[in-house]
Amino acid sequence: MRVGILGATGYSGAVLFSLLKQHPQVTEIDLYGHEGQSTARRLLADEIPAFSNAALPIVPFVPQDIMATTDCLFCATPAGITKNLMEPFIAQNFPVIDLSGDYRLKDPTQYEKWYHKKAAPSHLLKEAAYGLSEFLTHPGHYIANPGCYATATLLGLAPLALKKLIEPTSIIVDAKSGISGAGKKLSATSHYTFINENACLYKINEHQHIPEIMQQLQQWNAAIPAIQFTTTLIPITRGIMVTIYAKAAAGLTATQIQAAYAQVYAQSPFVRLRNHGFPTIQDVKGSNYCDIGYNYNPKTNTITVVATIDNLLKGAAGQAVQNFNKLSGFTETAGLPELPSFP
């Protein structure tokens, strides 16, 4: 297949390019620049010296040309870009996998509240499928790839929410991310002198991934009204660790919790369960895995769940390729690393 990438020079876009470059079913990759970028001829290697052997041009974004020459388009742009560009693709049912947040939320007022930007029209939002891969049964033609925090949080909570094993009002999420989760653009909190040997809480209960988490949780269990969600920036390059606390439903046992996770993820090649102990970020770095561990304390009636992912892979580009495989009818694991990077 011939595929296109809009926005290959950011962190997620670069990882996406490297995955697709090695995908057994991808024969050619075209790269496009988005609005606000220079129209001068650029090469990917000029933007990312590490890709010096990939002298591919970044060409202007022309929807009709893209649909005429490629089989699928990936969008790895910041929020606020694709909402203005995707209508021609949606109108033609052209396959698109969008890594931005522009099409994740079905309610445009929620997007405007959390992203502080004007939303895409409602009739376009309805055409997008929320692409949490392990639960994506009907991909359609437009897949809205989940956010990184949302991916780890939802995978950690899914069995508890689906099986109604927790008190709906008791969910507390403590999420920690490496600095690459903030994107390539420099900010005050991404300076080395700020984040080195430091940790920084930010966007407490205000993170833009919260509404997509709630949108999905309420599809699984409408009784869940809200979550307490704390995000912390930690001094590592990549990786997310989400620690979830929730009160167990009456009469629940540790055996029932274990059975719920085993059943929900029995056919999920990229979810690895720990029946004893908890995963670390290093366990998943460089992979498309989500590792999950859990514990039940009967004295406090509290379930603790830890989910770890690589934010640039399972939290972005890796899940996009996983969704591409599902959309195209390929083996779900095609083009994705079989093992994390170690040591």
CA 218 – CA 161 distance, rounded (Å): 9
First-to-last C-alpha distance (Å) of the chain: 34
- Token couple for 230: 């704390």
Q: If you compute the radius of gyration of the chain from its CA atoms, what whole number of angstroms results?
A: 20
* Nearest-angstrom CA–CA distance, 315 and 21: 19
With contact defined as beta carbons under 8 Å apart, do 257 and 294 qualify?
A: yes
Catalytic annotation, pick one of 72, 75, 148, 290: 148
How far apart CA 112 and CA 117 sit, in angstroms, is 5
Interatomic CA distance for residues 48 and 65, integer angstroms = 25
148 labelled catalytic: yes
Select from 310, 307, 291, 273 the least CA-distant residue to 19.
310
Locate 101 and state its tokens: 């947040």
Distances (CA, A) of 185 to 9, 10, 102, 320: 11, 9, 19, 22
Cα separation of 204 and 314, whole Å? 23
Catalytic positions are 148
